[in-house]
Structure 1
Amino acid sequence: MQPDAPFPNASYYNGGPRRDPPLSQAGFIALSVVMALFTGPAIMLNAAVIIVTLVHKQLRRPLNYALVNMAVADLGTAVTGGLLSVVNNAWGSFALGRTGCVMEGFAVALFGITSLCTVAVIAVERMFVVCKPLGPFSFQLKHAAGGVALSWFWSLIWNLPPLFGWGRYELEGVGTSCAPDWHSRDPKNVSYILCYFALCFAIPFAIILVSYTRLLWTLHQVSKMACVEGGAAAKAEMKVARMVVLMVLTFLVSWLPYASLALLIVAKPDVEIPPLVGTVPVYLAKCSTAYNPIIYIYLNKQFRGYAVPFLSCGRTSRTDDEESELQTTVESSNNKVYPP
Structure 2
Amino acid sequence: MHDSFVSHNSSSWQGEPPLSRGGFILLSVVMALFTGPAVVLNATVIIVSLLHKQLRQPLNYALVNMAVADLGSAVTGGLLSVVHNAQGFSSLGRTGCVMEGFAVSLFGITSLCTVALIAVERMFVVCKPLGHMTFQKKHALAAIALSWIWSLTWNVPPLLGWGRYELEGVGTSCAPDWRNRDPHHMSYILVYFAVCFAVPFVVILVSYSRLMWTLHQVSKLACLEGGAVAKKELKVASMVVLMVLTFLISWLPYAGLSMLVVFNPHVEISPLVGTIPVYLAKTSTVYNPIIYIYCNKQFQRYVVPFLLCKEVRIQEDTSEVVTTVELSTNKVSPA
TM-score (norm 2): 0.95
Quote the RMSD (CA, aligned, Å): 1.7
In the TM superposition, residue 132 of structure 1 has moved relative to its aligned partner by 1.4
**Match runs of 1:151-166 below 5 Å:** 151-166=147-162
In the TM superposition, residue 231 of structure 1 has moved relative to its aligned partner by 1.6
Percent identity reads 70
Partner amino acid, structure 2, of 1:159 = N
Aligned-partner Cα distance in 1 for 2:250–2:130 = 32
Among 21, 24, 29, the alignment partner of 2:20 is: 24
8 A contact 1:167–1:190 mirrored in 2: yes
String of CA shifts for 1:215-265, please: whole Å, max 9, x gaps: 111122222333343223333333222222211111000000000010000
Q: Hey, which of these two has a bigger chunk of helix by percent?
A: 2
TM-score (norm 1): 0.93
Q: 1:85 to 1:321 in 2, by over 3 A?
A: farther
**1:188 corresponds to 2:187:** no
8 A contact 2:126–2:333 mirrored in 1: no
8 A contact 2:73–2:107 mirrored in 1: yes
Among 173, 192, 196, the alignment partner of 1:177 is: 173
Size of the aligned set, in residue pairs, is 333
**Partner in structure 1 of residue 6 of structure 2:** 7
**Partner in structure 2 of residue 208 of structure 1:** 204
**1:322 corresponds to 2:315:** no
Partner amino acid, structure 2, of 1:163 = L
**Match runs of 1:241-256 below 5 Å:** 241-256=237-252
**Match runs of 1:89-108 below 5 Å:** 89-108=85-104
8 A contact 1:42–1:290 mirrored in 2: yes
**Partner in structure 1 of residue 259 of structure 2:** 263
Range with greater deviation from structure 2 (321-330 or 129-138): 321-330
Among 263, 277, 283, the alignment partner of 1:281 is: 277
8 A contact 1:169–1:179 mirrored in 2: yes
**Partner in structure 1 of residue 213 of structure 2:** 217
In the TM superposition, residue 10 of structure 1 has moved relative to its aligned partner by 3.5
Aligned-partner Cα distance in 2 for 1:323–1:226 = 24
In the TM superposition, residue 329 of structure 1 has moved relative to its aligned partner by 3.2
Range with greater deviation from structure 2 (169-178 or 245-254): 245-254
Q: 1:258 to 1:140 in 2, by over 3 A?
A: same
8 A contact 2:116–2:204 mirrored in 1: yes
**1:198 corresponds to 2:197:** no
Range with greater deviation from structure 2 (125-134 or 181-190): 125-134
**Partner in structure 2 of residue 88 of structure 1:** 84
Aligned-partner Cα distance in 1 for 2:5–2:320 = 53
Partner amino acid, structure 2, of 1:203 = V
Aligned-partner Cα distance in 1 for 2:2–2:319 = 52
Range with greater deviation from structure 2 (173-182 or 318-327): 318-327
In the TM superposition, residue 337 of structure 1 has moved relative to its aligned partner by 5.6
User: Residue 93 of structure 1: SS of its match in structure 2?
Assistant: coil
Q: 1:297 to 1:207 in 2, by over 3 A?
A: farther
8 A contact 1:9–1:92 mirrored in 2: no
Aligned-partner Cα distance in 2 for 1:338–1:246 = 23
8 A contact 1:233–1:329 mirrored in 2: no
**Match runs of 1:271-310 below 5 Å:** 271-310=267-306
String of CA shifts for 1:54-105, please: whole Å, max 9, x gaps: 0000001111110000000000001111111011101110111111110100
Aligned-partner Cα distance in 2 for 1:19–1:201 = 35
Q: Which blocks of at least 5 consecutive residues in structure 1 are unaligned?
A: none
8 A contact 2:54–2:321 mirrored in 1: no
In the TM superposition, residue 8 of structure 1 has moved relative to its aligned partner by 5.2
